[in-house]
Amino acid sequence: MTPESSQFWAECVCIGHAVGLIIFVLGLGTLLPWNFFITASQYFNERLAAPNTTSNGTSGSTSKDYNYDSWMALLSQLPLLLFTLLNSFLYQWERFRVAFSLVGIFLLFSLTAALVQVPMQPDAFFSITMATIWFINMFGAVLQGSLFGVVGLFPPRYSTLFMSGQGLAGIFAAVAMLSSILSNSAALGYFITPCVATLGTLLCYLLLPHLVRICTPSHTKPL
């Protein structure tokens, strides 16, 4: 089938719609995991409100104030700034950066979901949560910067689809939060959702080059 045939261009139109859908999903998957995390502040504050147990098995009468929201804001914005700047100087290994970031986010949310069923001291839970926040935003900064570079290779309408997906991510997370009281069982399903979304985003990203290559004439450099 030659690029000049009508069947070729008809298939390219269909593939173009599929590419648009994939880019929309990529935008959705970029911000969905973190939006799920920040809307679950009630769950984290409730777990941190429990008193710490001492080495002799007794628990304190009062809970410790961890200032969770303040630390979350600091440890989310700092790596976002640093790694966004770092990512702007990295022009190689784009596919590796995107795939590695998505796998990292998936593993961190898997850990967060697993900890729902694990009793822990508030001090240990706070330390793990803060480290998780740092690394999620580190991977998120690299992921978002790399995907913006990929989307920039496409016509402008695809950038609109990407941004629309990012906007839907916040709405979707807010609706999910409102529909869940975040008891232990609800929290587990709540954190599994971004794990599934991240895997779907990774599969879409791996599929994208194959779709683009089909409609790229042999004398033209593929996107």
Sequence-distant (≥ 6) Cβ neighbours of residue 159 within 8 angstroms: 151, 152
Q: Per-residue confidence at 78, pLDDT binned at 50, 70, 90? A: very high
Q: What would the pLDDT profile of 36-68 be if each residue is shown by its tens digit?
A: 898 888 889 888 987 777 655 555 556 788 899
Which token pair is 91? 């022009």
pTM over 0.85: no
Which token pair is 156? 């402008």
Which residue type is seen at 199? L
With CA atoms as reference, report the closest residue to 71 among 101, 38, 43, 46.
38
Mean pLDDT, the chain, rounded, equals 82
Q: Are 211 and 22 in contact (CB under 8 A)?
A: yes
Q: What's the average model confidence in pLDDT over 19-48?
A: 89
Which residue type is seen at 14? C
Q: What would the pLDDT profile of 95-141 be if each residue is shown by its tens digit?
A: 888 999 999 999 999 999 999 888 889 999 999 999 999 999 999 99
Where is 170: in which H helix or E strand? Answer: helix 156-178
Determine the Cα–Cα distance for residues 97 and 22; give it in Å rounded to an integer: 18
6-49+68-214 to CATH, choices 3.40.50, 1.20.120, 2.60.40, 1.20.1250: 1.20.1250
Output the CA angle 34-35-39, nearest 5 degrees: 115
Domain borders along the chain are 6-49+68-214
Q: Are 56 and 196 in contact (CB under 8 A)?
A: no
